[in-house]
Amino acid sequence: MFIAVVNLTDLSGESTCAVNLACELAGPSAIETDRWGGKRSVVFVDATTNRKAAYHCSQRRLPVSCEHVPLQYPADIDHWIRRVAAIEVDYVVIEGPSRGDVYVEAILSMSDLMVIPCSVDDRDLAAANSIVRLIGKARSTRMGRWPRCLLVPTCVDGRIDTETDIKTTLEQFGEPVTPPIHQRIEFADAFVAGRWIGEYAPNSFAHLEIKVLAARVEDCIGRLDCV
């Protein structure tokens, strides 16, 4: 299964969602379920050029393998798709670059599920809306309901009115909306330590939010729809 975590801005907490989701999907028995040449059952692909998530993975304290496969130039798209599609594991979690419809369309062409983190920033909401439109186009091309989609409210500061506003706004896009991922200091501290939230702060509120997201992802992939 190919799961892409994508938005078109740097405002959405995309790396936080992508890295921690990949690690949660690996589960506690990742070592025993290894299926790819000595690596784990989940591979995280950093398709960005800034290597932020790849650097996090390089600390070698995460329960996933990491591949830095930057999606940089339109001329490289076919090669990128072939390289990523050749990864044979239970889940490939891709963090997409925050730029360009052409790159999003490349990721859409091979993804089973698009996870779209979205903050309350107007630019982030506009970018998420653009991706939802591209998903509709991809579904037409692929003659079905694929890729599926989950919208994830992120960088939420805990105010009830803010959470309600972003949830209501995202619901207007016509795709399922997950519970929010809040701005929590544990996420930043875990990143600095080169660890993921489930190992750095197990069963904290931050970890529980990632567990809920992972459960929604697995449920969405396993059903005819994500509702």
Higher-scoring residue by pLDDT: 225, 29: 225
Higher-scoring residue by pLDDT: 96, 52: 96
Q: How many CB atoms lie within 10 A of CB 68?
A: 16
Percent of the chain with pLDDT over 70: 88
The predicted structure's pLDDT at residue 34? 44
Kindly report, residue by residue over 102-138, the tens digit of the pLDDT: 999 999 999 999 999 998 888 899 999 999 999 999 9
Distance in angstroms (rounded) separating the CA atoms of residues 113 and 2:
7
Kindly report, residue by residue over 70-85, the tens digit of the pLDDT: 998 888 899 999 999 9
Distance in angstroms (rounded) separating the CA atoms of residues 190 and 197:
6
The predicted structure's pLDDT at residue 29? 47
Q: How far is CA 53 from the centre of its chain?
A: 11
Higher-scoring residue by pLDDT: 47, 53: 47
The residue assigned the tokens 């080169």 is 194
Structure tokens at 208: 């529980």
Distance in angstroms (rounded) separating the CA atoms of residues 212 and 193:
23
pTM attached to this predicted model: 0.91
The predicted structure's pLDDT at residue 189? 94
Distance in angstroms (rounded) separating the CA atoms of residues 164 and 78:
41
Residue 200's pLDDT band (cuts 50, 70, 90): very high
The predicted structure's pLDDT at residue 36? 43
The yes/no answer on whether domain 6-98+114-220 falls in CATH 3.40.50.300 is: yes
